[in-house]
Amino acid sequence: MTQIKRLNIKGLEFVFVGKYRYDKDIDDLERISTWKDWKLGFWFRKFEVVGSKNFQHPKEWRNNMVNQYMIGCELLLFQGWITICKGGMNLES
């Protein structure tokens, strides 16, 4: 089962995600697409996401981008990452 924990500290949103390779809740299609390679290492990604300011006006989204950072690790049987964002919107917000 994918574990997701959210934490907000002074406007910074932290999302912790963890997955296990042999989890019983994962269907075969997800297991093949997500776990097709055995990987070991750490990674970092930076994205631009739409900010919460003027979110109701899609024409203003281009002028309202904020950075979102992801730091993760892959340890053969386990994948985990932390997403850090200040002022960004996502589907769950």
pLDDT tens digit sequence for 64-77: 888 889 999 988 88
Please tell me the distance from the alpha carbon of residue 21 to that of residue 38, in angstroms, as a whole number.
Answer: 10
Please write the tens of the pLDDT for every residue from 38-84.
889 999 999 888 887 777 777 777 788 888 899 999 888 888 999 88
**Cα-based distances in Å from 72 to 7, 19, 51, 63, 80:** 17, 11, 23, 29, 6
pTM: 0.70
Query: Encoding tokens for residue 89?
Result: 């919107």
Q: What beta strand segments (E) does 1-93 contain? A: 3-9, 12-20, 40-50, 65-75, 78-86
SS3 (DSSP) at 29? helix
